[in-house]
Structure 1
Amino acid sequence: MTSPHTPPTGSPDPEPTPDPIRHEFIAAGSIDANIQNLRGTITVRAEHGTRVGVELIPRGEAGAQLATRMRVRFDAERLTVDAPADEAHRVGVGLGDLFSVRGRGGSLPFTDRLAESFRSAVRGVEGLLGGLEIRVVLPAGSRVVVSDGVGDLEITGSLARLEARTGTGDLHVRNAAEESTRLTTGTGDVTLGEATGQVHATTGTGDLRLDRLEGTATLSAGVGGVTVREARSGSLTARSGLGDVELRVAAGTAVHLDLATGLGEQDVRLTPADGAGAAERTLEVHARSGKGDLRVLRAGAAAAAS
């Protein structure tokens, strides 16, 4: 009789899970970091203290081989995590069309050709086997650049500056950096918690959501919706080539609206009584959609309107 924990006779042994590779450093304070991955998730956590940690977690044999070839360096308060150049070239070829619109199918609308280009590029990298998860811990207040070929990015903690980009994958950022935040994905969703500084977020195809705005934000989606759940003050520019734009304005905030849609409806549910006095918060909004609706309402009325 075969034990339920014993592989049947003649069956191949399960592939062993590759061991993670860990690097630990001590910083004097906030640092500069440049982190690159090719296929797999990247998680960056900023926390109080002086610890700098990098953990490479392979997925599959190909991921294990990639992990051993990654270059991790920490020198002069600068952290660098580099992928090997030849592997980067392979992924780059698969994603070469991701940030350009192909000339073929010229009779199709721009947004349709854009979506077709994204789908084709994603199919081109689906055959890449194995992956590598990268987890980074660094001091709060650091300045970080993160780039990935195929994979999701997740950023938490307080940073001074952040630039994050992935060819295909979702971006999740708990809070925008204090000074500036720039987020880019070719295909995938972008979610951002609170924005108080300058924010630029772009997705080629996917939805873009900002939970709370008290700064300056430019949000662009080629094919997908743009949502701001609570705008309190500052300036917002929101664009979608094909998708809806929805803005929920906090109570006590006066708004100047500049709206335009090529094919869609405008639904503004604000009244003069909703406005704010001279001493209250103000918000300037420029919203555009090529094909989609534009909706503006008070944040407190969101549940009733939905």
Structure 2
Amino acid sequence: MIRAGGLLVLLAGPVAAETGLCETAWARVAEGLGGFGTVTATGVAQEGDWCVVLAPVLDVDGQYVPDWRMDRLRFRGAALGWIADGSSLPEGLEIAVEGLRLAVQTGNAQVDWLLAAQARPNGIDAEAALAWDPVAKVLRLERLSLDFPGENRVDASAVVTGVDLSSTGAMQMSLASFALTEAELRVQTHGLFEGYALMALGSALLPPEGDMDAAAEGLRAEALAAIGDLPGTSFSDASKAALRALVGELPNPAGDLAVTVKAEPGIGPVRFGGYAVTGVPATVAAAAPVFEGVKVDVGWTHADAP
């Protein structure tokens, strides 16, 4: 969970890193994350053209909120010079996270120590690469990979137009003009859904008491009905069948999900602007204008964990 400002200070193409510039870059990122909590690290080093932050921790404010702990955070880019003296534009970013763990702080020192130790063998590794074209004003998520414990993984890429990162004012203007034109998502789940999404969704959608199996079946029926109402111009029969198969496996899906989105002229604030006046559509059919020019291909393959 990184603030846009914290990421933007690192945007640029790869160049040789200097330790002083690495320290400056990390200081700026830590400052950008400071609104969430206390940021610490045991040191900052240089490895080739990579800046390496050792054992960074984001100690999020509040009890029962998970803190973010990492073994190492690595980044590189010509934005190091931009951070120091403003001499370059943010044109790219490479970042890698090793051994990310989320550990809840309860206020009980014994429990907190045990939870932190329990989380250590369940680290997450992540890599991301972004590139920005200042002439075309196109931001590309060239690669996002999240490698979770076990046979669990998320890979994604995307193209967003109407993005101007040349100044703070331009970035603020982009919030009203950006549009997602392409996206690809691949998810391998063998416990990933249960570990990271089920509790949040269940708490929001299930009643606090009563027959949970019946309530879950009702939610499943609503989801299947919504899938049936999806416009055929955007979702093929095969895509709808894949979604139905996935819903049928909830709350314990096991397998591989693939989603590809292409949108012309794009999905962004302009497309949703009218709903600020009329309100959120009550049905999938009422939201049909949202899908105009949008093609979504979905694939789901059940696979038991090896």
Q: TM-score, normalised by structure 1?
A: 0.27
Which protein is richer in strand relative to its size? 1
Q: TM-score, normalised by structure 2?
A: 0.27
Which protein is richer in helix relative to its size? 2
